[in-house]
Amino acid sequence: MKPQDYTHLLSQLKAEYAAYAPRSAALNERAHKVLVDGGSHTLRLIEPFPPRIAAAHGAWLTDEDGHTILDFWQGHLANILGHNPEVITTALAQAFAEGFGLQTGFTDRLQIEVAELLCARTGTELARFTTSGTLATMYAVLLARAFTGREGVLKVGGGWHGGHPWALKGVGFHDQQGYQHIETAGLPAAVCEEVLVTRFNDPDMLHDHFRRYGDCIACFIVEPFMGAGGFMPATREYLQTARELTTQYGAVLIFDEVIAGFRFRAGDTGALYGVQPDLATFGKIIGGGMPVAAVAGRADIMNLAGRAGGRRVKFSGGTYSGHPASMLAAKVMLHYLIEHEADIYPRLAALGEQTRRILERAFIQEGIYARCTGDGNDALPGSSIFMLHFPYAPDHPLAAPDDVFDPAVCDVALNGDVLQLALLLENVHVTHGHGALSTAHTEADLAFLEAACRNVARRLGKIGIKSAD
């Protein structure tokens, strides 16, 4: 396969979709009058417009036009039990009926119970809750900088840790700069210089960074399972090297487990590697569908935000920190995952494996070479997430973000808007080729996905897009 020009196909797909979803189209027009680009999260605002969701149950969505859509985005990867799972909605409904849930601004027993579960399942000593993964990683970096008295923040190219200043370098692959790109206007120059970007799963480069800048590095923040950067697990060697180097140079090791936490087991993913970070961040799944995130880790570092550490770090909370209804959802979710761990995770891993192979097969058998990342490795026994890629060379390794986002290596245009719109017309929702399974997905759902992908691949074949080109 060689790079293709999808301009014509894309405008065809947009026109078809506009005719297919007229109510979402009308709402989109209304949305543009009061919301930037019609919404509040760029990734969700596809062109010509996103489906406007009216209801969601388990693996399926219903949009305003009445289409039922098989969803693999699942609450931005948070809804591991599917959308609106009864176990959580029932608990919330009951609490609201009894006058509990929206009295934010106090403390209660739930925060304690959730923190006890979180610390016990992640090998951490102290936790503090916040409301987004972005805030959690920001506070973790702040704690690390205060603890070490250093300023350097080492991250991996492609790593997405949310939208705060220290996380906004080296996220998207840039044609000229690779992963040294500054993602936003308005960042202080000092922050741009303080953030160093290294390569995922490259222990030699990590050694090099610490050899050269080790005395200035406050923390190394890394996902044990790379999320938005390509859905690929860290190698054992990489995380062990990260642990050794951060210890040797006195830097704080932060595992960002906002995606990975409770995704592969009922606890942290670092444990599967036998590597304990100094701090870890959690979000998504732990909130049971509500906005909950946490920083957890070593008491001597966490306490910098508390009385024992003179409250030197202003991680002091916000209006909705430890929100009671959110904490209730979190408690129910964590209890459920812990209690059903032995059933849930092997089943999710099997569904994930099936999905990845189905996606590859559906395209390959129709003449378009495709490969999925998301497989486990010797540390991570299996995974329920996938990212589809269209590499130009069949044998190219897909082990780091630049392997899958460099347009010279993979057809990134195809698994962007083209695939997303073509699949929406088949009533399947996958965000830019990546997604996650939930316990609500069934074998029948996977058969539906396969048929949808074959239809998309045939459609591409008809206009001459084939790997043999």
Q: How far is the CB of 211 from ligand PLP (least distance, A)?
A: 27
Nearer residue to ligand PLP within complex by CB, 71 or 256: 256
Other CB atoms within a 10 A radius of the CB of residue 90 amount to 11
Q: How far is the CB of 434 from ligand PLP (least distance, A)?
A: 11
Q: Decide: is 111 part of the binding site for ligand PLP (CB under 6 A).
A: no
Q: Which amino acid is at 359?
A: L
- Let me know: does 386 contact 230? Beta carbons within 8 Å: no
Give the binding range for ligand PLP (CB under 6 A) out of 22-30, 140-148, 155-163, 262-270: 155-163
Burial class (CB in 10 A: 0-12, 13-18, 19+), 162: buried
Which listed residue (71, 194, 256, 426) binds ligand PLP by CB under 6 A? 256
3-state helix, strand, coil in the chain (%, to 5): 45, 15, 40
Strand residues in 223-341 grouped as ranges (E): 225-226, 232-233, 252-257, 279-282, 293-297
Other CB atoms within a 10 A radius of the CB of residue 200 amount to 26
Site for ligand PLP in 377-436 (CB under 6 A): none
Site for ligand PLP in 160-179 (CB under 6 A): 160-162
What are phi and psi for residue 57, nearest 5 degrees?
Answer: -135, 125
Q: Decide: is 129 part of the binding site for ligand PLP (CB under 6 A).
A: no
**d(C-alpha 444, C-alpha 449), whole Å:** 9
Q: How far is the CB of 176 from ligand PLP (least distance, A)?
A: 26
Q: Decide: is 132 part of the binding site for ligand PLP (CB under 6 A).
A: yes
Nearer residue to ligand PLP within complex by CB, 78 or 465: 78
Nearer residue to ligand PLP within complex by CB, 59 or 77: 77
Residues contacting 368, CB < 8 A, separation 6+: 1, 390, 457, 460, 461, 465, 466, 467
Give the binding range for ligand PLP (CB under 6 A) out of 13-21, 254-262, 341-349, 375-383: 254-262
Nearer residue to ligand PLP within complex by CB, 228 or 440: 228
Give the binding range for ligand PLP (CB under 6 A) out of 4-12, 156-164, 299-307, 388-396: 156-164
- Let me know: does 385 contact 352? Beta carbons within 8 Å: yes
List, in sequence order, every residue forming a beta bridge with 252; answer none if it has no partner: 219
Which listed residue (92, 258, 362, 440) binds ligand PLP by CB under 6 A? 258
Q: Decide: is 374 part of the binding site for ligand PLP (CB under 6 A).
A: no
- Let me know: does 348 contact 80? Beta carbons within 8 Å: yes
Site for ligand PLP in 187-246 (CB under 6 A): 223, 227-228
One-character DSSP codes across 174-187 = BTTTBT--B-STT-
Q: How far is the CB of 223 from ligand PLP (least distance, A)?
A: 5
Q: Decide: is 133 part of the binding site for ligand PLP (CB under 6 A).
A: yes
Judged by the rule CB under 6 A, the positions of this chain that interact with ligand PLP are 132-134, 137, 160-162, 223, 227-228, 256, 258-259, 283, 293
